[in-house]
Amino acid sequence: MLGIFIPLERVDIETVQSDIEAAGALGAGAVEFLPLYYYGESLAGPPEGADWATYGFETPAFRKVFKASLQAVKKAGVPVDFALGANQGQGVPAETTDPGLHWDLAPYHLEVPENGSYSGQIPGWGTGKLVVLVSARVISSSQIKTPASSTFSTSAHNATQLVLQGDTLIEHTNKVNADGTVFVSLRNGTANANKYIRSNSQHYLFAYYQYQDLAKNLDIESNTTGTIFDNGSYTVDHYSARGAEATKGFWETYILNDIEIRSLLTEVGTYGWEDSLEIKSNISWSPSLPERFEKMHGYRLHKYLPLLMYENNYPVVQPSYPGSIKCALEEQHHGNGFVNDFRAALS
């Protein structure tokens, strides 16, 4: 693999071309064009003098080197693979209002008073669009601990594990008022009221909100906002077609509009690729997931979201934060079937 890193103006195009041609002369089977920017500065700071707004992914300066590299690849007679975006390729520069950018699902909870009723604003109101409000009876509670990670400089993390009674999971979303307030009585007016009259019963309300968190795969800030290149590269939605559409639209507008680049990629390009997700989130999510889930599995996802709020993000890059609460059902398989169905819908 020949990696090409161009954060600074002093990158010499002739040197880049000669390196590619030399690799071809030595028998290289292919060239890989990887615009790596210190992993978005998550593992190291930017080099002195770096100006991502001017020399970042698919800026005019970047395209100049990209085109020269493709010309050298053609001359060397080797094919080329190229990243779809900066770093691992998870996204592209974009307007922050683009619906194809990454979505997150934020979980909130509160304990219902002992009388089995709650009146007030639901937890987390204002975070994003409410997806569902669910109640459940808690059978037991304990503490679990996740280890620290030296690779990502994260500390150990404590979480609460709740065992829920499966047949007490109830949706209350339609009761929530426009200002986020709700009145929920778990003892009256529900088919499962008898399950809530036991002494010393503990109940929780769980609220889930979807929102675009504007996660970046090239995480930079600048004081200028004249173009979409000024603030790095945004991760796109990986669980619906909208993310692919955002990436496709960017390439067609800012890269493939150059006739020579389009022609060269047609001649020598093989794979446009993405390395790995490496996206931080609370819960892996896209607004289209509930509909896709129901089509695949024949039942609604919503009331089972409490089972999905732990270890359903990307633990490799956030090993100390799989979630703050882990819920399981009291039954033999602890509700793992619902978790597996969710992960199948993600893929």
> Would residue 5 count as lying in a domain?
no
The confidence band for 34, taking pLDDT boundaries of 50, 70 and 90, is confident
Structural tokens at position 222:
């600048």
Question: Are 22 and 82 members of one domain?
Answer: yes
Instruction: Tell me the pLDDT tens digit for each residue of 38-90.
Output: 655 555 666 666 677 777 788 888 899 899 999 999 999 999 999 999 877 89
> Would residue 25 count as lying in a domain?
yes
The Cα–Cα gap between 90 and 284 comes to 14
Domain end marker among 229, 254, 273: 273
Looking at the 3D structure of the chain, how many domains does it have? 2
Question: Are 91 and 201 members of one domain?
Answer: no
Question: Are 194 and 313 members of one domain?
Answer: yes
> Would residue 6 count as lying in a domain?
no
> Would residue 237 count as lying in a domain?
yes
The confidence band for 314, taking pLDDT boundaries of 50, 70 and 90, is confident
Domain end marker among 255, 273, 291: 273
Question: Are 84 and 40 members of one domain?
Answer: yes
The answer to whether the beta carbons of residues 341 and 312 sit under 8 Å apart is: no
Q: Structural domain of residue 244, as residue ranges?
A: 13-98+215-273
Does 20 have pLDDT greater than 60?
Answer: yes
Q: What pTM did the predictor assign?
A: 0.88
The Cα–Cα gap between 172 and 279 comes to 31
The Cα–Cα gap between 30 and 69 comes to 12
pLDDT value of position 175 = 97
Determine the distance from the C-alpha atom of residue 313 to the mean position of all C-alpha atoms in its chain, rounded to a whole number: 8
Sign of CA pseudo-dihedral 121, 122, 128, 130: negative
Question: Are 202 and 107 members of one domain?
Answer: yes
Which of 136-167 are b and which e, b meaning 16 or more Cβ less than 10 Å from the residue's Cβ?
A: bbbbeeeeeebeebeeeebeebebeebbbbbe
> Would residue 4 count as lying in a domain?
no
Question: Are 129 and 49 members of one domain?
Answer: no
Query: For residue 59, how many other CB atoms are within 10 A of its CB?
Result: 20
> Would residue 1 count as lying in a domain?
no
Question: Are 117 and 210 members of one domain?
Answer: yes
Question: Are 133 and 203 members of one domain?
Answer: yes
Question: Are 200 and 124 members of one domain?
Answer: yes
> Would residue 179 count as lying in a domain?
yes
Question: Are 294 and 318 members of one domain?
Answer: yes
Question: Are 199 and 88 members of one domain?
Answer: no
Instruction: Tell me the pLDDT tens digit for each residue of 274-295.
Output: 887 778 899 999 999 999 999 9
Among the listed residues 83, 81, 68, 74, the one whose alpha carbon sits nearest the alpha carbon of residue 24: 74
Pairing of strands 80-83, 31-33: parallel
Question: Are 131 and 86 members of one domain?
Answer: no
Q: Amino acid identity, residue 120?
A: G
> Would residue 8 count as lying in a domain?
no
Exposed / middle / buried, residue 293 (Cβ in 10 Å: 0-12, 13-18, 19+): buried
Q: What is the dihedral of CA 210, 212, 213, 217, to 10 degrees?
A: 130
Angstrom CA distances, 305 to 107, 293, 301, 339, stand at 9, 12, 7, 9
Domain end marker among 227, 254, 273: 273
Instruction: Tell me the pLDDT tens digit for each residue of 126-142.
Output: 999 999 999 999 999 99
pLDDT value of position 193 = 57
The Cα–Cα gap between 261 and 258 comes to 5
Instruction: Tell me the pLDDT tens digit for each residue of 199-243.
Output: 567 999 999 999 999 998 877 766 666 788 888 889 999 999 999
Per DSSP, the residues of 274-323 read --------SSEE-TTHHHHHHHHHSS-SGGGGGGGSSS-S-TTT-TT-S-
Provide the β-strand partners of residue 160: 143, 325
